[in-house]
Chain A
Amino acid sequence: MLIEIKDIYKIYNEGKESEVRALNGVSLSIGRGEFVAIIGASGSGKSTLMNILGCLDIPTYGDYSLDGQDVTDRTDRQLAHIRNKEIGFIFQGYNLIPALTAYENVELPLIYQGVSILKRRDIVMEALEKVGMADRWKHKPAEMSGGQQQRVAIARAIATHPPIIMADEPTGALDSKTGKHVLEILHELNDEGATIILITHDNSIAATAKRIVRISDGCIVADGSREEVGL
């Protein structure tokens, strides 16, 4: 299994009156090359789950192994390397750095990986071409539409060719046509072998996934194909 979590808890203000259990004992396995949609209402804990899967956050309790490696008690530095090499992130709010151009934003993960400047140029342009943004490489995020920004964000996520791509509501801020285009790119990447984990509250988008995980109140309530989950 590529991703394997066991009895993951994420508890805020533990032991206090205001205690919140965002994840309440979640276990999940995801294999290489899968396209998994995690669905649930807002506040159900699906974003928390993705943050933990993506090593953006650490669970309060539980075990997490990524590609056979235990990542539960990794140092900050090791987690940074995992995020850099293993995972590509696509966020609802794009999360591009406003001061940098499209090119420079896509270049960032490669810089942190230590790729030389000459190699970077080809990789960045290739990634931008893949999302159809090569002609906008000089533009800053403010000079682009939402869909264009999200495509640049996808280019950034795939620039390092990570085995896993995590997308948190990637179409949430886009109109349906642009959203569909973004979804197509994700499927293309999946066809090329990438493991895709897609967080969404939109059933029609989730329905395009081979496997759907429904989460509610911090627990997985259904896991399986579209028919099995009942979409």
Chain B
Amino acid sequence: MNIGQSLKMATKSIFSNVGRSILTMLGVIIGLAAVIILVSYAQGQNIAMQAYYDSMGTNTINVSAYTWRSGTDITQMLYDYCLGLDGVAGVTPNGQVNVTISYESKTLSNNDWNTMTTVYLGSDQYGKCNDFTIAKGRELSYLDCKRLNKVCVLGSATADELFSFADPIGKTITLNGTPFLVVGVYQSKAAGLNTGTGDDGQWIKDEIKRKDRMVLIPYTMTRYFNNNESISDYVVRAKTKDDIKDVMANLRSYLSTIISQDSGWSDVSAPSDWQDSQNEATAMQQRFLGGIAAISLLVGGIGIMNIMLVTVTERTREIGIRKAIGAERRSIIIQFLIEAAMICGIGGIFGIIVGYIGTLIVCKLSFGAIMFPSVGITFGAAAISIILGIIFGMYPAIKASGLQPVVALRAE
């Protein structure tokens, strides 16, 4: 008997027992769909988290430095030192002042955490260090800081809120009544960010949006608004991830030379440390989801095995009949192999379809964005469930085809 005949025989057998075929397929479908949905969910979550990290500025290093010895201008020294370092892309003070922001008759309220606008003190490199890009106008300049120019750059949300759709450049806003000229507007960080509308995605998006509610003024303005208190927080941005370690080491040793232990303090840290631990947590969650997915695949496999075992006596008798009328062991095994492969293959295709539809729904609900699992994972999972199906599908054939026909015929 040739393969063509075996193929026809297998097809005939599948369609002549639709109920059993569907039940077998169901095991493959459920197992496979579960794996695809869970893996996609984990991947989607990962991508959303990465977007959040990226919005915080990548490769940044936080520096705190303070001295009470007068005559030491740490800000200027740090600025000069950093610009001389190889791996540094930018440096800025990172202070905040608590002031009332107004434009004409409009005053921004600071009561609600979600709509609060923060006024930052920064250098000409503030945007570079915090991943802001100028949309209109210009950045603060070095001279703005040197000369204590009363100028500011607005975050996109703040610009919209104060000026609606009018062009803010050249207009004057007041901070605690002091007029500041708007010289630039930053691009929105939240715009175009694909984290979706789901719960997790929305939270991340809100977090990122909050960063657009800001006003940047030259750091030297700390003298006006903070009773001349000097700035102690800085952000240094390394050129690449690999530079972070060296830059941090250099900063530590430099700070220890300019600030003696009895005259102040300093600290150098990188959010990437924190990000690493977050990634670790995410990876753990992924392993957990992967475990659940593996279990559902196993359960699917057991489902296949069960239905095959249930039909084993029926099939044993059938095999006995086939042997009695002249089927070789080989042709019986080939027929069952093809049959199992076809059932599981069809089940696999449906499983992938159901899995992708499920992914569409789950990701839409939680992230908005759709993250399909990689082709490798899809086909890997499909291969596993199909192999399981084939092994268990062939089980009765392997067992019964080795029997004497009379023994197989006796199966009731």
Q: Which residues of A contact B (CB under 8 A)?
A: 51, 54, 56-58, 76-77, 80-81, 83-85, 89, 91, 95-97, 99-100, 104, 108-109, 111-114, 156, 160
Contacts and interface: CB of A to CB of B under 8 A. Distances in A.
B1 A114 contact: yes
A3 B327 CA distance: 22
B404 A58 contact: yes
B325 interface: yes
A95 B12 CA distance: 18
A112 B326 contact: yes
B1 A112 contact: yes
B14 to A, nearest CB: 10
A56 B405 contact: yes
Nearest to B5: A111
Given A77-B328, A112-B331, A156-B325, A99 B16 contact: yes
A80 to B, nearest CB: 5
B200 interface: no
Contacts of B77: none
Given A91-B409, A104-B12, A108-B325, 18 more contacts: A56-B404, A56-B406, A57-B407, A58-B404, A77-B330, A80-B323, A80-B326, A80-B328, A83-B323, A83-B325, A89-B324, A95-B317, A95-B321, A109-B325, A111-B1, A111-B9, A112-B1, A112-B328
Contacts of A57: 404-407
A102 to B, nearest CB: 13
B326 A84 contact: yes
User: Could you say which of B1, B324, B330, B406 has the most chain A C-beta atoms within 10 Å of its C-beta?
Assistant: B324
User: Could you say which of A57, A91, A99 has the most chain B C-beta atoms within 10 Å of its C-beta?
Assistant: A99
16 contacts: A54-B324, A77-B329, A80-B329, A83-B325, A83-B405, A89-B325, A97-B322, A99-B12, A99-B16, A100-B12, A108-B322, A109-B325, A111-B9, A112-B331, A113-B326, A160-B326
B318 interface: yes
B367 to A, nearest CB: 47
A112 B327 contact: yes
User: Could you say which of B13, B16, B317 has the most chain A C-beta atoms within 10 Å of its C-beta?
Assistant: B16
Contacts, number: 72
A109 B326 contact: yes
B17 interface: yes
User: Could you say which of B321, B325, B404, B406 has the most chain A C-beta atoms within 10 Å of its C-beta?
Assistant: B325
A51 B403 CA distance: 14
A160 B326 CA distance: 11
Interface in B293-340: 317-318, 320-331
A154 B325 CA distance: 12
Nearest to A85: B326
A213 to B, nearest CB: 20
Contacts of A96: 321
A44 B330 CA distance: 35
A161 B329 CA distance: 23
Nearest to A83: B326
B13 A83 contact: no
Contacts of A97: 318, 321-322
Nearest to B16: A99
A56 B322 CA distance: 11
A150 to B, nearest CB: 14
A51 B409 CA distance: 11
A111 B2 CA distance: 9
Contacts of B327: 80, 84, 108, 112
Interface string B400-412: 0000111101000
Nearest to B314: A98
Nearest to B325: A109
Contacts of B322: 97, 108, 112
Contacts of A83: 323-326, 405
